[in-house]
Amino acid sequence: EADIYQTPRYLVIGTGKKITLECSQTMGHDKMYWYQQDPGMELHLIHYSYGVNSTEKGDLSSESTVSRIRTEHFPLTLESARPSHTSQYLCATQGRFEQYFGPGTRLTVT
Amino acid sequence: DAKTTQPNSMESNEEEPVHLPCNHSTISGTDYIHWYRQLPSQGPEYVIHGLTSNVNNRMASLAIAEDRKSSTLILHRATLRDAAVYYCILSRGGTSYGKLTFGQGTILTVHP
């Protein structure tokens, strides 16, 4: 079993609030990813990191930002949440060949 | 990036084999073929991957065409737990390995 954790699992928050979605892993993997997935739709890569102090934007433009200060943590931040940010956010790490996904955070902005 | 084409949906009966096709006619020589699946309300789960040769693991088999322009994921005996969205994805080898582009996938329904 892969050890990748995301908190919170569910978050309902009002417009304009700053939020941080946590992602942590205990496998020591260098490569980590954030995907966004709307209900019934495909996953889109929004951020990735190849190691500490390395972050890049993914294929889908996102107003969120990420940081990678430690190998274990890859948090995602929204400075001012808006209803259009309502979605599921999935974090993943890269093993030798396969990606391990966390359970996701389902975000609802009211 | 090379793209894949999959049927929108397929159906199977429990304990029967399932063959999920994927076309990737623009695949390059360094592209790996990956299959993931996503069960309802969960994150995707790795199933299998290959480059040129057919592959088997405890979950499934991957049959890759000789010209690599198509592949088939084989579930040997479908169970109700195999009902999921199955994604066929190409990932280029090298430093960018792991950047996955998910498509719509194939929704697999398994009937008891």
Range B90-112 average pLDDT: 87
Q: Which pLDDT belongs to residue A1?
A: 56
Closest-CA residue of chain A to B96 = A50
pLDDT at B1: 60
Residue A100, CB half-sphere, CA atoms under 13 Å: how many? 19
Asked if B103 reaches chain A (Cβ–Cβ under 8 Å), the answer is: yes
In angstroms, what CA-CA distances link B5 with B65, B71, B76, B112? 15, 11, 22, 28
Q: Which of A50, A99, A103 sits opposite B100 (nearest CB)?
A: A99
Mean pLDDT across chain B, nearest whole number? Answer: 93
**CB proximity B3 to A under 8 Å:** no
Find the mean pLDDT for residues B43-67: 95
- Using the Cβ of B45 and the Cβ atoms of chain A, whether some distance falls under 8 Å is answered with yes
Determine which of A81-85, B28-32, B70-74, B80-84 has the lowest per-residue pLDDT on average: B28-32
B103 CB neighbours in chain A (<8 A) are 42
Is residue B72 less than 8 Å (CB to CB) from chain A? no
Q: Label the pairing between strands A99-101 and A43-51.
A: unpaired
**pLDDT tens-digit readout, A14-37:** 999 999 999 999 999 999 999 999
pLDDT tens-digit readout, A77-110: 999 999 999 999 999 999 988 999 999 999 999 9
Phi (first) and psi of residue B80, to 5 degrees: -60, -30
B101 chain-A contacts, CB cut-off 8 A: 45, 59
**Token pair listed for A99:** 């990606």
Beta strands in chain A (DSSP E): 4-7, 10-13, 19-25, 32-37, 43-51, 54-57, 65-66, 76-78, 87-94, 99-101, 105-109
B104 contacts on A by Cβ (under 8 Å): 42
Whether residue B65 has pLDDT greater than 80: yes
Write down the pLDDT at residue A2.
60
Range scoring the smallest mean pLDDT among A19-33, A38-52, B96-110: B96-110
Nearest to B102 among A43, A50, A94 (CB): A43
